Amino acid sequence: MSTYSSGINTADADLISCAAKSLDTLRLAEKIAKVSVPVLIYGESGTGKECIARHIHRQQFGTMGSAPYIGVNCAAIPESLLEATLFGYEKGAFTGAVQSMPGKFEQANGGTLLLDEIGDMPLSLQVKLLRVLQEQEVERLGSTRRIKLNVRIIAATHQDIPLAVKEGRFRQDLFYRLAVLPITIAPLRERPEDILPLVSHFMQKYRAFTSSDITLSTSVKQALVSYDWPGNVRELENKVQRGLILCQGENLTVDDLGLPAIHCATQKISHSEVDSIPAIRDLGKQVEQQYVLDVLKQFNGNKTLTAEKLGITPRALRYRLSSMRQAGLCR
Ordered domains of the chain (ranges, CATH)? 10-186 (3.40.50.300), 191-257 (1.10.8.60), 280-326 (1.10.10)
| Residue 297: other Cβ atoms inside 10 A | 10
In the prediction, which pLDDT does 272 show?
A: 47
Region label for 13, one of left (φ > 0), alpha (ψ between -120 and 50) or beta (otherwise): alpha
Stretches in the chain below the pLDDT threshold 70: 1-14, 64, 261-287, 326-331
Those residues whose C-beta lies under 8 Å from the C-beta of residue 193, and which sit 6 or more positions away, are 1, 18, 19, 20, 22
The half-sphere exposure of 183 on its side-chain side, counting CA atoms within 13 A, is: 31
Give Cα separations from 174 to 79, 133, 152 (angstroms).
18, 9, 15
Whether the predicted model's global pTM rises above the 0.75 cut: no
Helix then strand count (H, E) for the chain reads: 15, 11
DSSP for 91-146? Answer: TTSSTT--S-EE-HHHHTTTSEEEEETGGGS-HHHHHHHHHHHHHTEEE-BT---E
In the prediction, which pLDDT does 106 show?
A: 95
Those residues whose C-beta lies under 8 Å from the C-beta of residue 2, and which sit 6 or more positions away, are 18
Those residues whose C-beta lies under 8 Å from the C-beta of residue 245, and which sit 6 or more positions away, are 209, 210
Over residues 42-82, the pLDDT tens digits come to 999 999 999 999 999 999 988 767 899 999 999 999 888 99
In the prediction, which pLDDT does 235 show?
A: 95
Give Cα separations from 229 to 236, 257, 272 (angstroms).
7, 12, 28
In the prediction, which pLDDT does 186 show?
A: 95
In the prediction, which pLDDT does 97 show?
A: 81
Over residues 289-300, the pLDDT tens digits come to 777 887 888 888
In the prediction, which pLDDT does 267 show?
A: 37
User: Would you say 149 and 137 are in contact if contact means Cβ atoms under 8 Å apart?
Assistant: yes
Question: For residue 156, which of 74, 32, 41, 315 has the smallest C-alpha distance?
Answer: 41
In the prediction, which pLDDT does 292 show?
A: 80
Those residues whose C-beta lies under 8 Å from the C-beta of residue 44, and which sit 6 or more positions away, are 158, 185, 187, 232
Beta strand segments in the chain, E:
39-42, 69-73, 88-89, 101-102, 112-116, 137-139, 146-148, 152-157, 181-184, 215-216, 251-252
User: Would you say 93 and 48 are in contact if contact means Cβ atoms under 8 Å apart?
Assistant: no
User: Would you say 47 and 186 are in contact if contact means Cβ atoms under 8 Å apart?
Assistant: yes
Indicate the helix (H) or strand (E) that contains 233.
helix 232-246
Question: For residue 180, which of 145, 133, 216, 128 has the smallest C-alpha distance?
Answer: 133
User: Would you say 156 and 49 are in contact if contact means Cβ atoms under 8 Å apart?
Assistant: yes
